[in-house]
Amino acid sequence: MLSDAIKKGIEKAPHRALLKSMGYTDEEIARPLIGVANSASEIIPGHIHLDRIAEAVKAGIRSAGGTPFEFNTIGVCDGIAMGHEGMKYSLASREIIADSCEAMAKAHSFDGLVFIPNCDKIVPGMLMAAARVNVPSVVVSGGPMLSITMDGNYIDLNSVFEAVGAVKAGYIDEKDMIEYENNACPGCGSCSGMFTANSMNCLTEVLGLGLPDNGTIPAVYAERIRLAKLAGVKVMEMVQKNIKPSDILVPEAFENALTVDMALGCSTNSVLHLPAIAHEMGLILDLDIVNEISAKVPNLCKLAPSGPHHVQDLHRAGGVKAVMKELARKNLLYTDLITVTGRTIAENINNAIVKDNNVIRSIDNPYSETGGIAVLKGNIAPEGAVVKRAAVAEEMLRHSGPARVFNSEDEAIKSIYNGEIRKGDIVIIRYEGPKGGPGMREMLGPTSAIAGMGLDKDVALITDGRFSGASRGASIGHVSPEAMVGGPIAIVQDGDIIDIDIPAGKINVNLSQEEINKRLQSWKAPEPRIRTGYLGRYARLVTSASKGAVLL
C-alpha cells in the first residue's frame, strides 16, 4: 500500500505516534488510508451541507474496511462573486483546489481518495487533482438545488439576475424582484439549472469517476446520502482492484463526455474544463473535436437556461444514464469503458429507462440534429470561441450588426443598464480573458440584463472572458487569442460590422486582412490590471482559453 510509507516498519514509529495522537488505533492504521477531500464551507449554497456528505462517505469507507482522513479545500461561489472583482478569482481558484488536493494526497501517502465538490470550479479542480495524483479515486458531489414555482413557472438563480434587467427596463417593480429574490434559491445545492456546476457533475458521471446519478440526485434527498455511502464503499473496491483514474480517463472517455455534453446542452464552461482535465492525463482535447461531435450528436434536453426543465426533472426522467442509453442506441458512445462502479458503461446503463420524453427526447425525435454547444472560428477568433447553441434563439443563429466595444465588463453593464444598447447591436467585451482580466470573469450580469430587457433575441455578446452556464442568448465567449496578448478582438472598433453564423461555425469582423494587420501593428498592450498576489502570478502563467486556461 502507498500508505506503508507513513506507517510500516520500525522507522515509521514517529509517524504512527502522530496518528495515535489523534486517536487512531493500530487496527485503523493498518487498514488502507483514504483521503476525503471535502470542500464544505458556509459561503457557498452548494457546499453548506457537504459535511453531511463527508460523514456518509466516511461511514462507507469504514464499513468496507478502510480508514478515512478528511481534509478541506477552498471554494468560490460564482453567484456571490459575480459582477465585481471577486469573479476574477473564480476560474483561478480551480488551480488552487487541484494543487491543494495534490499536496494533501502526496504528503500523506493516501491509498485512495474520495473527492466531495459541488459547484463551478471545485468540480473540475478536484477532477484535475484525481487525474494528477492518480490513485484510486471516486467523486461524489453534493447535488443540485431544487427549483420551485412562482406564478406557475419554475424559477432559479438566473431568474433573479434577469429580474434585475426587467426592473431597469421598467417591466417589473422592485417588489416583484424581491419575490424572485426570496424564492429562487429555496435551499442547499448547486444552482438548479444545467449551469456549470451541474454540467460538470453530470459529466463526472459520464467520464466514469462519479457513480450513476451523481449529477442529478437533488441535494436534499436521502438518496444523495446513500450515494455518498456507496462512494466510500466503491473507493475501497477501487483500491483493492487497483483501478486508477488513468484507467478510466482514457481519450474515449473525454469523447463520451463531449457527446453527452451536446445531448444535454451543458454550460460552455465544460469546453474550458474538459481540456484542462485531459491535460492532467497528458492528453490534448482540441476544440475542433467539439464541432465534429456536435455535428453528429443530437440535442435531447432543454434544461434551464435553454428551456423550462431543471436538473430535478432530469433526475425524475431517468437521469444522465437514461440520456446515455438513448445515445447508445445510435452507437454514439464508447460503452466498454471501465468506471468507478467496477463495471463498464454498458453495464451501468443497461437498465436505464427514459421516464419522461418531454424532458429527455427520444434520439429519433431530438430538439435538433446537432449538439448544444458550438465552436466558432474566424478572423476575430482564429483559435476559436464557444457558444451555447441550444440557448440561442433561432433568429439569432445568424446575425450581423455593428460592434459596441467595451474594454471591461463594468463598462458594458453600465451602458446596458443605461439603455444605450439598441436592437441589432453586437456588444464586444474584451480584456477579460485569462491574462487580461485576469481570471476570465463570467458575465451573467450583462447577459441577464440583456435578457431581462427583452433583447436576447436582438443583441449578441462576444467576449474573451466567459459566460455563466446560466447565460442564454447569443452569448459567445472564450474568444482566443484574447485581447491582452494581441488577439484580433483587440482591434475591433465601434461600428465595425460583425458577422455571426453559428450553424456554419463562423465569426468574423467585416474587415480586410490588410486593415486588421494595420490595426494590429499600431496596437499596444495595456498595463496589467493586477501585478501582485495570486492573480498577478496567475496572469503570468495561464495559457489560452482554447487550451483550457491551464497553468504552465
Cβ count within 10 A of residue 242: 11
* Residue 468 bears catalytic tag: yes
R_g over Cα of the chain? 23
The grid coordinates listed for 298 are: 443530437
Cell 481540456 found at = 275
**Would you list the DSSP string of 465-489?**
SB--TT--SSEEEEEES-GGGT-GG
Q: In sequence order, what are the beta bridge partners of 508?
A: 499
Give pairs for 363-369: CB < 8 Å, separation 24+.
363/298, 363/300, 363/326, 363/327, 363/329, 363/330, 366/298, 366/299, 366/300, 367/298, 367/299, 367/300, 367/301, 367/302, 368/298, 368/299, 369/298
The grid coordinates listed for 366 are: 431530438
Q: Which helix (H) or strand (E) holds 37?
A: strand 33-38
Going by C-alpha positions, the residue among 200, 194, 118 that lies closest to residue 156 is 194
Task: State the DSSP code for 309.
Answer: B
Cell 459547484 found at = 119
Question: Residues 41, 147, 190, 468: which is the catalytic one?
Answer: 468
Contact between 549 and 541 (Cβ < 8 Å): no
Cβ count within 10 A of residue 439: 30
Please give the positions annotated as active site. 468
